[in-house]
Amino acid sequence: MSPRQSLLVTLANRTFDGLDLQQLASRLDLAVVRLTGDSVADIFNSEQVTDAPSLYVGTGDYNFDAQLAAAIGVPVVLAAGDEAAAGLAQARIEEVGATVASVSTGDLGDLQVADVGARQVMSPVVFERQLIEQAKANRKHVVLPEGEDDRILQAADQLLKQGVAELTILGDVDDMNRRAHDLGLDMSGAHLINHLESELADEFAADFAELRKKKGVTLEEARETMKDVSYFGTMMVHKGLADGMVSGAAHTTAHTIKPSFQIIKTAPGTSVVSSIFLMVMQDRLWAFGDCAVNPNPTAEQLGEIAAVSARTAQQFGIDPKVAILSYSTGTSGSGPDVDRAVAAVEAARQADPELLVDGPLQFDAACDPGVGKKKAPDSPVAGQANVFIFPDLEAGNAGYKIAQRTGGALAVGPVLQGLNKPVNDLSRGATVPDIVNTVAITAIQAGAK
């Protein structure tokens, strides 16, 4: 075994009684760390797990401990009561992606630990931790214009405690402070602004009137517009007073996105704003687009969405291999929709000549190596795609929700793309973790500019 490689000890049909863990740790030159917590996420995100070489003592529930080992990325030492229990437990441990370094049905005195490599297995808890750490590494300023929503304050409390981003929250300051106190939250690290009383309002109104003068917007109309929190927050991003905005917990998608079209506008070389969902599953991370914005994109728009989605996916650790999805693979089918997919591939390659993209591909041909080899043997993408571009909004929305609701995927998004500066929309049913994740994503996007 490599010197000082961390390990995790778990059990099958026995207890820790009689196991000399300290002796094993001393022999391997490891420090004993007994892990405690109510969930894998609690333990994984706690200060118990560090980079120091450790002999982690699990809970004794090998199902739970296997998920924990996979999240941490360390091999497992399995202490079992008998061979039958050992076999069943080892199969389950490997099923969740963890690596077994040794199995013992006796004491640990002469246990030989194999020199095995263990990798961190992608999962929702791993992805969320990576998001937070990536955002913290390049701390950005995000404005949250919905301070009247308790979920926003609760998420802000968590974000501030972890140092994820600098935050500005819009709303009635006295009311926000009162509610934060009642909820046991600390808002001292946030900038709280009542946009209705802000000295920035007149400046923003003048700028907005200038931006929209060709549309006939007067200064008085602009002043009225700046009373809307979404417009005020978007103007903060436009003026460089914040790096990005997250909204939508209490407002519609249109209410969040419309101001960005009018003020921030699309990035150079971009003609369409689109979105992806980051789909987090056991042992894989995919991107689905466009599932939230464009009902019926043209072939040229699909190609642009494919190229932009690849760049967005890359920001979150995906090495993009892009599939333009269809009901047909290659020339197995025909018709206008297939022709559109062919044209979309060409448009994507024109947008980014280095992009690995192919289509039309059926979903199974895109993601399953066996099917991909059979249906599209010469494709550089078939069987290994990780960025999936759906033909229209109907298919995309259904696709991500099927994966989410029946496949157990964590759907993170929608992540908006194509704007000059990042603005992201929340579902009105968003949970506090959803808001935390979306702020982290927005901060990462801002850092990539």
Same domain as 229, residue 183? yes
What would the 3-class secondary structure string for the chain be? Answer: CCCCCCEEEEEECCCCCCCCHHHHHHHCCCEEEECCCCCHHHHHCCCCCCCCCEEEECCCCHHHHHHHHHHHCCCEEEEECCHHHHHHHHHHHHHCCCCEEEEECCCCCCCCCCCCCCCCCCCHHHHHHHHHHHHHHCCEEEEECCCCCHHHHHHHHHHHHHCCEEEEEECCHHHHHHHHHHHCCCCCCCEEECCCCCCHHHHHHHHHHHHCHHHCCCHHHHHHHCCCHHHHHHHHHHCCCCCEEEECCCCCHHHHHHHHHHHCCECCCCCCCEEEEEEEECCEEEEEECCCCCCCCCHHHHHHHHHHHHHHHHHCCCCCCEEEECCCCCCCCCCHHHHHHHHHHHHHHHHCCCCCEEEEECHHHHHCHHHHHHHCCCCCCCCCCCEEECCCHHHHHHHHHHHHHHCCCEEEEEEEECECCCEEECCCCCCHHHHHHHHHHHHHHHHHC
Same domain as 233, residue 295? no
Cis-peptide, bond into residue 360, ω within 30° of zero: yes
Same domain as 100, residue 206? no
pLDDT of the residue at 1: 45
pLDDT of the residue at 253: 76
Domain at 150, CATH number: 3.40.50.10950
Q: Looking at the domain assignment, is residue 312 inside a domain?
A: yes
Same domain as 212, residue 328? no
C-alpha count within 13 angstroms, C-beta hemisphere, residue 124: 14
Q: Looking at the domain assignment, is residue 183 inside a domain?
A: yes
Q: Looking at the domain assignment, is residue 425 inside a domain?
A: no
One-letter amino acid for residue 150 of the chain: D
Domain ends where: 263, 298, 318? 263
Same domain as 256, residue 202? yes
List the structure tokens of 413.
């998004």
Which pTM does this prediction carry?
Answer: 0.86
Alpha-carbon span 177 to 153, nearest angstrom: 10
Alpha-carbon span 421 to 239, nearest angstrom: 11
Same domain as 160, residue 100? no
Token pair 């690849």: residue: 310
Domain at 87, CATH number: 3.40.50
Residues spanned by the domain of 235: 135-263
Domain ends where: 93, 121, 149? 121
Number of domains in the chain: 3
pLDDT of the residue at 367: 96
Domain ends where: 64, 86, 121? 121
Alpha-carbon span 202 to 196, nearest angstrom: 10
Yes or no: say if 284 and 122 are a contact pair by the CB < 8 Å rule.
Answer: yes
pLDDT block averages, 10 residues each, the chain of length 449: 76 91 91 93 91 94 96 94 94 94 84 84 91 93 96 97 96 97 96 95 95 92 94 96 92 83 89 94 92 94 97 94 95 84 96 96 96 95 97 96 92 92 90 94 89
List the structure tokens of 56.
């982690």
| Residues whose CB is less than 8 angstroms from the CB of residue 330 and which lie 6 or more positions away in sequence, other chains included | 360, 361, 375, 376
Which long-range contacts (C-beta less than 8 Å, at least 24 apart) are formed by 58-62?
58/8, 58/9, 58/10, 58/11, 59/10, 59/35, 60/10, 60/11, 60/15, 60/16, 61/10, 61/11, 62/10, 62/11, 62/12, 62/89, 62/92, 62/93
pLDDT of the residue at 68: 95
Domain at 307, CATH number: 3.40.50.10750
Alpha-carbon span 103 to 55, nearest angstrom: 15
Considering only CA atoms, which of 16, 52, 15, 20 is closest in space to residue 33?
Answer: 52
Question: From the centroid of its chain, how far is CA 243?
Answer: 19
Same domain as 346, residue 299? yes
Give the burial string for 87-100 (b: 16+ CB within 10 Å, else e). Answer: eebbeebeebbbbb
Alpha-carbon span 449 to 441, nearest angstrom: 13
Same domain as 314, residue 206? no
Same domain as 219, residue 108? no
Q: Looking at the domain assignment, is residue 401 inside a domain?
A: yes
Same domain as 253, residue 150? yes
